[in-house]
Amino acid sequence: MDATVELLHRVARSTVTVAATIPASHPSAAVLGSNRFGSGTAVDSSGLVLTVNYVVLGADSVHVIDVEGRRHDAALVAQDFATGIAVVRIPSNTIAPVSAGSSSSLSAGDDVFLIASAGDGDRRSATGIATALDPFDAYWEYRLERAIWASCSNPGLGGGPVCNARGELIGVTSLNLGNIGRATLAIPSENYFEHSGELISEGRRTSRPRRAWLGMFCYAFADRTVVAGLVPGSPGEHWGLEAGDVIVRIDGEQVMGRSQLYESIWTHDPGEVVELDVFRNGELVTVPVESIDVEEFFDL
């Protein structure tokens, strides 16, 4: 892609390092650690910075470092567990915002580029193409109906901007996948821009129905879904799910894959019991789990 040096520099100036400190007592610390670093993108002139939720989840202290190496105190203002984005705010508007875009105009084969923090004021870039705009499900009860898959590997910390050939923000880098042709997965930026008013005013997406959460980590295989682990203190752990359980049915209905498993769980409201039939140690075991709201579990 013939992205000009000026275009790359412009987006790099809007890209920041996000540093977060999380109390050891927070439920996420056991899985994600207590000191986290990521990338972020200035999205307006009031000091709002868009990043990925796993960097700032549970943070009691957040700092942003701009491309000049200046350190800014930041406050966490919004999180969205369903899509995985988060927003922090710095008190000054000295960081130029990136141009807003949307992945709705993106097609497979279109040019894209990534900018990422490599720590403090260092920035790195990578160019490639969008390889797909397919759904994506992950092992932590997470599914995007539409995700950006890109051919270029993320050159730094997660949470940075994915831009189209015009330098417009179309996605937030989430994961390095390591698959040939699908090296990076990004969250479409419209998950922020189309709901920014609600996110900033409420701190979350209050208009979206709440949904049940069990706190499982799940491996997906061709013919089965296996519990790989459980979030400490989660409903799944409390009600007796175990690592290694093969999930056969949910609420009496056969489960054909991880995506279907999540969709079945999400038909429940938090507080309702989700009944799982699992294959464990050579026998079928029924485990009823009283679900909760993930946002309440993580004290949002």
Q: What is the pLDDT of residues 206-235, one digit of tens each?
A: 999 999 999 999 999 888 899 999 999 999
**Rounded mean pLDDT of the chain?**
95
User: Residues with Cβ < 8 Å from 100, sequence gap 6 or more?
Assistant: 43, 168, 169, 189, 193
Domains observed in the chain: 5-96+196-202 (2.40.10.10), 99-190 (2.40.10.10), 216-297 (2.30.42.10)
Look up residue 46 and give its two tokens. Answer: 């009031």
Q: Are the beta carbons of 172 and 162 closer than 8 angstroms?
A: yes
Polymer length of the chain? 300
Q: For 233-290, give the DSSP string.
A: T-HHHHTT--TTPEEEEETTEE--SHHHHHHHHTTSPTTSEEEEEEEETTEEEEEEEE
- pTM value is 0.94
3-state secondary structure of 297: helix
Output b/e per residue, 164-192; b: 16+ Cβ within 10 A: beebbbbbbbbbebeeeebbbbbbbbbbb
Q: Are the beta carbons of 220 and 260 closer than 8 angstroms?
A: no
Given pLDDT bands bounded at 50, 70 and 90, which one contains residue 154?
Answer: very high
3-state secondary structure of 54: helix
Q: Are the beta carbons of 228 and 258 closer than 8 angstroms?
A: no
The pLDDT value given to residue 92 = 79
Question: Which has the higher per-residue pLDDT, 2 or 154?
Answer: 154
**How far apart are alpha carbons 235 and 226 in whole angstroms?**
17
pLDDT per position as a tens digit, 52-86:
999 999 999 999 999 999 999 999 999 999 999 99
